[in-house]
Amino acid sequence: MDCIFCKIASGEIKGSFVGENDWFVAFDDINPVAPTHVLVIPREHVKSLEELTAFDDEVLKSLFDLVDEIVRSKGIKDSGFRLIVNQGRDSGQEVEHLHFHILGGRKLGRLG
């Protein structure tokens, strides 16, 4: 498989993780759209949200625990942040490996 996120998660491509646990790793986006722009990805290749829902509650809890750890460490928990998933080409998803964007550090515009 030639998935860049799988290579980052496995360490094949060196990166600096800003957070990690048994199921997920997080790193700063290389093309940030906000002062804080972190990507959180599953360690194993998961293509879609539908695939993620097949995991048990422990895995899903670990995702939100990691998000909480990151927003605290980045200093954006109290001021606010946005957690975004782009699903499919029409949403702008560029890498077919499920990933979550954490955006914050400034006032974000309204959606819609």
Q: Could you give the residue numbers annotated as active site?
A: 99
Which tokens hold the place of 105?
């550090």
Sheet with strand 24-28: strands edge to edge: 17-20, 24-28, 36-42, 100-104, 81-85
Q: What letter does residue 89 receive in the DSSP assignment?
A: G
